[in-house]
Structure formats: structure tokens, C-alpha cells
Chain A
Amino acid sequence: DFVMTQSPDSLAVSLGERATINCKSSQSVLSRSNKKNYLAWYQQKPGHPPKLLIYWASTRESGVPDRFSGSGSGTDFTLTISSLQAEDVAVYYCQQYYSTHYTFGQGTKLEIK
């Protein structure tokens, strides 16, 4: 099974500063056939279902602000928020959809410093 490990578990960043969340997969999620990384990022605010932010590791979902970006390949990935806004306070999850058993990271709680 693919194990997804996020770091850190929690993060406090000042408004306007950069926030970086990492996600490491126990196996590569890069497809040799189409050169795509089967990795997505989600944002979840309290009392709400998760919201898709990024898929294929770096493709921003429609309507997601461009301060959110995804990078990485193979086993190591990063979600970056370039300038933290108050509404970005949430828990962020990565997920691999490479295998038939999708798995999520444990989540990273992002707060304002």
C-alpha cells in the first residue's frame, strides 16, 4: 500500500508570508506512460467537506486562487501558499490516486501566527 506522510503536522505562518506543506509517498506516483504524477491536494475548513485545490501534482482546480501552487514529482511533493490570507486557515491533505487503493496523508493544520 501507498503510505502518504505529510510534514509538518501543524504550521503557523504570519499573514502575507509563505506557507509550505510537504507530502512524501512511500512509492512513486509518477506514471511512466503519461508522465503524470497522481497526486492531489485538498483544503478542509471546520464543519465542511474537503475541497480540491490541486491535481496532477501541479494543476490548479478552477476557481482556486493562484497563491496556491503544487510542485514535486515521484515521491516528494509540496503545496505552497505564496501569501497567506486569513481564509486559508484550514487542514490540508495530500492524496495519491495512482493505485486502486487511494490514500491520504494525515493532514497538516495551518494557522495564523
Chain B
Amino acid sequence: DVQLVESGGGLVQPGRSLRLSCAASGFTFSTYSMNWVRQAPGKGLEWLSYISSSGSAIYYADSVKGRFTFSRDNAKSSLYLQVNSLRDEDTAVYYCVREGEGGSYSSHWGQGTLVTVSS
């Protein structure tokens, strides 16, 4: 079975940084594009970033471009999201998402990791 397990969330002060990780298993990680999606408390889903299977193509939502960096290590079947200059509005559950077999829809989601930005 496909498993995506996020980690690295927690309470962090505004302006600080955090590195989120996602450990993938149950599929050939290096052949799938991946995404990060977040959800603020009581709010809807916000797509953040995409990375191609090789890592050669990366896209960001305007709301996080320049502050967030998405990377992957195919040898370790892992994803990383470096989040810098955190703001109150970055408080959210961050989901690691795998794309589908034949298209870029989000077929598999992790359980998410909660990031709380507060002084």
C-alpha cells in the first residue's frame, strides 16, 4: 500500500524556519511527481508546490514563492519542504501528496503535519 508520512511540524516563532519531511513507501517513488498542499485551521485546501519525478521541474504558489523550497531524494524515497520566514498565516496542516498513475490529480495523501506559527 502507498504510504506517505509527514514529519517536522511543530510550534515555531514568526520569522523562524522549519524543514518538513515526507517519507514515501509502497510504490516506486522515483517515477512519480509529488506535491505539497496545506490547510489552515477551518479553511480550505491550498496547493503549495510541485516537484517532478526527477526533481528537475519545481513550481510554487505565489503565496510561498521565495520563502519555501521543495526538494526530493529519490534514493531515500523522501520529500522535503524548507519553510523560511514563517508568518502567522503559514499556520496549517501540511500534506504530502502523490500524483496519480496517468495524470496530475492527487491520488494519495499523507495524514499531514501541523505547523503552528506563534510567538
Question: Which of A's residues lie within 8 Å of B, judged by CB?
Answer: 1, 36, 38, 40, 42, 44, 49-52, 55-56, 61, 91, 93, 95, 97, 100-107
**Complex A-B: 6 CB contacts under 8 Å:** A49-B111, A50-B109, A52-B107, A97-B105, A101-B62, A104-B37
* Interface presence of B11 (CB below 8 A): no
List residues of chain B with CB within 8 A of the CB of A1: 62
Q: How far is the CA of A13 from the CA of B45 in the complex (A)?
A: 24
Q: Decide: A93 and B109 in contact? CB cutoff 8 A.
A: no
Q: How far is the CA of A94 from the CA of B61 in the complex (A)?
A: 17
Choice from B62, B105, B109, B111 contacting A95 with Cβ under 8 Å = B105
Q: Which residues in chain B, 67-118, are within 8 Å of chain A measured between CB atoms?
A: 95, 100, 103-112
Q: How far is the CA of A93 from the CA of B39 in the complex (A)?
A: 12
Most chain-B CB neighbours within 10 Å: which of A42, A51, A102? A102
Q: How far is the CA of A84 from the CA of B100 in the complex (A)?
A: 27
Interface size class of B (residues with CB under 8 A): 20 to 34
Q: Decide: A50 and B105 in contact? CB cutoff 8 A.
A: no
List 19 extra interface pairs beyond A38-B103, A102-B104, A106-B44, CB under 8 A: A40-B105, A42-B45, A49-B111, A52-B106, A52-B107, A55-B103, A55-B107, A56-B103, A56-B105, A93-B44, A97-B103, A100-B50, A101-B62, A103-B47, A104-B44, A104-B45, A104-B46, A104-B47, A107-B44
List residues of chain B with CB within 8 A of the CB of A55: 100, 103, 105, 107
Q: A93-B44, A100-B50, A102-B50 are in contact. Are A49 and B109 (CB under 8 A)?
A: yes
Choice from A61, A93, A95, A101 contacting B59 with Cβ under 8 Å = A101
Q: Decide: B45 and A93 in contact? CB cutoff 8 A.
A: yes
Query: What residue of chain B has the Cβ atom nearest to residue A6's Cβ?
Result: B44
Query: What residue of chain B has the Cβ atom nearest to residue A100's Cβ?
Result: B59
Most chain-A CB neighbours within 10 Å: which of B46, B100, B112? B100
Q: Decide: B45 and A107 in contact? CB cutoff 8 A.
A: yes
- CB A64 to nearest CB in B, in angstroms, measures 12
List residues of chain A with CB within 8 A of the CB of B61: 101
Most chain-A CB neighbours within 10 Å: which of B37, B95, B110? B37
